[in-house]
Structure 1
Amino acid sequence: MLLRGRCIDRIVGRCTLACLTDAGTAKIEVSAPGHVTAVRRLIIDGPSPVQMRQKTEIARRIAQATSSAETL
């Protein structure tokens, strides 16, 4: 379902190249609706409004730290 190979990146020195096969794509298409339903129930609909604001702030800080790290 997934083909992997190694490659060399001039900046970080290494990386993994992954290509999804037709069988992998078919598996994702079959799995996606149930996955979306579960994520929505657990991550979006489950938390209270206060918890959602906290998650939003946490995600913002992680995104900010990640984008800063990428420029190093």
Structure 2
Amino acid sequence: MSERLHIDWTACRGRGLCGELLPEMLDLDEWGYPRPKQGLSVPRALSGPARQAVGLCPRQALRLQTEATS
């Protein structure tokens, strides 16, 4: 099983914290909203920083979802 980062665009207000905590996965646009670099599947090595980003998101706009791998 792997994890996927989900961004709730209706809750996000572009604070940019997620981009600072996950620069390997997310860029920030000119307003501070996250843009995925290459998809939102979380590599095992970034599981800790991804969990930290989810926990610290001030708008609770991030969550991790479990993906089934085949």
Whether these two folds match at TM > 0.5 is no
Tell which structure's C-alpha radius of gyration is larger.
1
- Normalised to the residue count of structure 1, the TM-score between the two structures is 0.24
**Higher helix residue share:** 1
**Higher strand residue share:** 2
